Structure 1
Amino acid sequence: MPADRTGRVVLLGASRTLTERACALGLETLLVTTKQAVPTVDLELVDRLVVVDSYDDKLLMPLVSRAHEETPFGACITFVESALDTAAQINEQLGLGWVSPETVALTRDKSLMRERLNTLGLCPVPARLCSSAAEALAFAEETGFPLIVKPPMGVASIDVRMARDADELAGMFADGRPLHVEEYIDGPEFSVETFSYSGRHVFLAIVEKRLLDGTFVEIGHTVPARLDDDAAASIRKVVSLCLDALGLTEGPAHTEVKLTPDGAKIIETHNRVGGDFIWELVRLATDWDLCTMTLEWAAGTAPAPSWDVAESTATSAIRFLAPPPGRVKRIFGPELLAGMPGVVKLGLFVGVGDEIPTVSQSFDRVGYVIATASDAAAVNSVCDRASELVRFVV
């Protein structure tokens, strides 16, 4: 629990959603963000603004300490991946609690996380941080193929690849970067959205994922996932054990798991809300808003809920748009979605004249459709139909 429940928070990194929610809750906010991110928020919604060149904790610490002395705040929170370490350092040095720097390091570094879980015998997966092709090939001799190879501190599915043989594996080390290598876990993938209150984990949703064919890039999510009670319970159990093992006692977490014949296994976890508008899908399906929950708990304006597993009152889904690559000449169809039953929102990241890339990471997707319906089949039908109506001419 944050040490000083004041009704005030520091927001590290610009987030339109967080600033809007904080304003709606009547919280006092100090926004610390980079110059590039300033245009993304409505500055009238924040009480104080500090613009910085980077989220370097050594530069920010004196600044935030002075602000805290003048007007104490409950916690420094962020949903920006690159600022998670700094937020933890600020909270620790000011004695505010929240998430420790050690826990953030364990959640951000895939190799450290896997080492901790394996040491504790929690759904162990053979893994190694390899600095060369020779090290990776030696590991492959022990475990066999296929293997998953990814940057130890990566995000957004960037450079996540599967090595099916020795030649593929060796080629992934051509640029000399250390890479996290682990045994491939087969099975359907889900994410689990939780919020922790002084070590008590409540479960907002289990999210069903859909991948773009031939990639590890997520092309869709559905809330809640289509799981029987036993499977859902097994997933919640292993996620709870994972969060305990990593020392995550406060705030949101986004944990990716796969369901295997041997039970649920952890892929990775993060001490923030899930990206890809998952927080919005959770809100639409359960009426619980992870952004609001984070702000209220940090500021001390709301108690922990009495339930352990949120009840879904609807089904929500998102479908990302990933058309063939090329320069956009025209876009047809957005007007057809206006008033379409079930469609909540259409978002486009490109316009006429922009280049559509070949999708190899999450940032390559060019738009999305969010929808709600009574069940998973219905909501995915709406998403599929709506996404088909939006056409990009290149």
Structure 2
Amino acid sequence: MNIIFVEPAFPANQRRFVHALASVGADVYAIGESDEAHLGDDLRSALRGYYRVGSVTNVQQLIDAVRHFQGQVWIDGLEATIEAHMMPAAQARQATNIPGTSVRTTWLCRDKPSMKEVLRAAGVPTAASAAIESSAEAKEFADRVGYPLIVKPRTGAGAQGTARADGDDELAEVLHRFGDEGATSLAIEEFVEGHEGFYDTITVDGRVAHDWVTHYYPNVLEAMRHRWISPQFVTTNRVDDPSNTFYAEVRELGRRVIDALGIETSATHMEWFYGPKGLRFSEIGCRPPGVGAWDLYSAANDVDVYREWAHVIVHGRPEQELKRSYAAGLVALRPDRDGVVTGYDGIDRLQQRHGEWIIDAHFPPVGHSTQPVEAGFMANAWVRVRHPDYDTVRAMLDDIGRTVKVHAG
């Protein structure tokens, strides 16, 4: 099978997808923005061909590159895994008659108001939402729904660019800031109170082949507002427990989302909230999750999830079953201020207490520039662990967050 992969070199984990496809027997052709000489021998050896473009988000350039490869071999599939690449890839598929995720499905997974309208029509509970293009439309929504409200770009990924408004003055300030950034159309929605997590799948012809349920501690907006928080996300190994009705409900709603949006063979990423109003689904991505979630899933199940994805793409079925042997999680460790890293406390105690269960860790060297809190979970130092018991994983991550200190100056 001949597969085109969009942008094999950046970010760095894109190489994992290329190697996974090659490992299950695909001939991989890639379209990227780097000079081929800069790909490195390891990546070039996994490719049968490479075509450089100025931008992989330029649809015409992508179409031209696809047609270049179609002039050489029969192309069976075109894959992309980065949010910003999804729509150009779908449009290139449509223009070149390559099967895969459609433009309609991709649009519904990108445009938040349209997505939620379709989900509500399918009986999937979501937050009240609307597309707005003026402050008057925003004020009308606020008067109808009430505060607090969430405002975000219509096609952003996850919590990217998300802002909360608790009153008229804050809403006006948020809209002004988005206007200064050039946003002319935004998504506005009710703030859903409750615990936040995500449901990820790999699907085959609209059926779930693999799935995972993961929890945030605390919720993302709170985590991205406060430097002192060491936020976590933890994937559970209890999802198959027949007595756990919550996970059963998450999985059932996830399957309804897949059907409503017309997702066929793909990775998916679905954000959810659970609170006083019950379970609500939020953002939906027709792509793998970010922040190294698949690395956690691989460690939790003793299986290479990237290879599982590739096996589904190439052979139409998973290669292995998930073992659910471990729960696994990540804790982000923030520097005490912006600047450069000056040192760490507690790393020795971390190894002494939890070394057996540590998957891996990242500690930027002294002198390395820090990243702002809002840059995300893996922007600075972090540690990943696994353990057969979910509650023990939580306790370990709490302890690591209290013990390890990142100093900056």
TM-score category by the smaller chain? Answer: 0.7 to 0.9
- In the other structure, the counterpart of 1:151 is 153
Say yes or no: does 1:273 pair with 2:267.
no
- In the other structure, the counterpart of 2:332 is 320
Deviation of 1:234 after TM superposition, in Å, equals: 0.8
Which 4+ residue blocks in structure 1 deviate beyond 4 angstroms?
36-41, 225-228, 304-307
Deviation of 1:165 after TM superposition, in Å, equals: 0.9
Structure 1 residues 74, 214: CA separation in 2 closer, same or farther (over 3 Å shift)?
closer
For each residue in 1:194-246, what CA deviation from the matched residue of structure 2 results, as whole angstroms up to 9, or x when unmatched? 11111212342111112378635493211117676111111111111111111
Structure 1 residues 48, 100: CA separation in 2 closer, same or farther (over 3 Å shift)?
same
Structure 1 residues 275, 36: CA separation in 2 closer, same or farther (over 3 Å shift)?
farther
Whichever residue aligns with residue 342 of structure 2, its letter is R
Structure 1 residues 46, 194: CA separation in 2 closer, same or farther (over 3 Å shift)?
same
Q: Retained in 2: the 8 A contact 1:324–1:358?
A: no
Q: Retained in 2: the 8 A contact 1:156–1:363?
A: no
Deviation of 1:156 after TM superposition, in Å, equals: 4.8
Say yes or no: does 1:187 pair with 2:194.
yes
Q: Retained in 2: the 8 A contact 1:343–1:382?
A: no
Say yes or no: does 1:209 pair with 2:216.
yes
Say yes or no: does 1:13 pair with 2:13.
no
Superposed, which structure 2 residues align to 1:1-394 within 5 Å? Answer: 6=1, 8-14=2-8, 15-35=14-34, 42-55=43-56, 56-175=58-177, 176=179, 177=183, 178-211=185-218, 215=222, 217=224, 219-224=231-236, 229-300=244-315, 303-304=317-318, 310-332=322-344, 336=348, 340-348=355-363, 350-362=364-376, 365-387=379-401, 388-389=403-404, 391-394=406-409
Deviation of 1:363 after TM superposition, in Å, equals: 7.1
TM-score (norm 1): 0.88
For each residue in 1:346-391, what CA deviation from the matched residue of structure 2 results, as whole angstroms up to 9, or x when unmatched? 124x443343244124278313211111212222333344453353
**Aligned-residue identity in percent:** 21
Whichever residue aligns with residue 327 of structure 1, its letter is G
- SS of the residue corresponding to residue 281 of structure 2 reads strand
Distance 1:391 1:160 in 2: 27
- SS of the residue corresponding to residue 198 of structure 2 reads strand
Structure 1 residues 296, 72: CA separation in 2 closer, same or farther (over 3 Å shift)?
farther
Deviation of 1:36 after TM superposition, in Å, equals: 8.4
Distance 1:165 1:311 in 2: 47
For each residue in 1:59-118, what CA deviation from the matched residue of structure 2 results, as whole angstroms up to 9, or x when unmatched? 121221231231223211111111111222233333332210110111011122112223
- SS of the residue corresponding to residue 239 of structure 1 reads helix
Distance 1:334 1:100 in 2: 49
Q: Retained in 2: the 8 A contact 1:358–1:364?
A: no
Q: Retained in 2: the 8 A contact 1:157–1:362?
A: no
TM-score (norm 2): 0.85
How many residue pairs get aligned? The number is 384
For each residue in 1:235-272, what CA deviation from the matched residue of structure 2 results, as whole angstroms up to 9, or x when unmatched? 11111111111111111101111123443211111011
Structure 1 residues 198, 212: CA separation in 2 closer, same or farther (over 3 Å shift)?
closer
Distance 2:199 2:325 in 1: 17
RMSD: 2.8
For each residue in 1:266-323, what CA deviation from the matched residue of structure 2 results, as whole angstroms up to 9, or x when unmatched? 11110111111111111122234432222222223x634797xx55111111112222
- SS of the residue corresponding to residue 373 of structure 2 reads coil
- In the other structure, the counterpart of 1:3 is none
Which shifted more, 381-390 or 320-329? 381-390
Structure 1 residues 39, 304: CA separation in 2 closer, same or farther (over 3 Å shift)?
closer
Distance 1:334 1:51 in 2: 46
Whichever residue aligns with residue 366 of structure 2, its letter is V
Deviation of 1:142 after TM superposition, in Å, equals: 0.5
Structure 1 residues 283, 329: CA separation in 2 closer, same or farther (over 3 Å shift)?
closer
Unaligned runs of 5+ in 1: 1-5
Which shifted more, 75-84 or 337-346? 337-346
Distance 1:67 1:278 in 2: 32
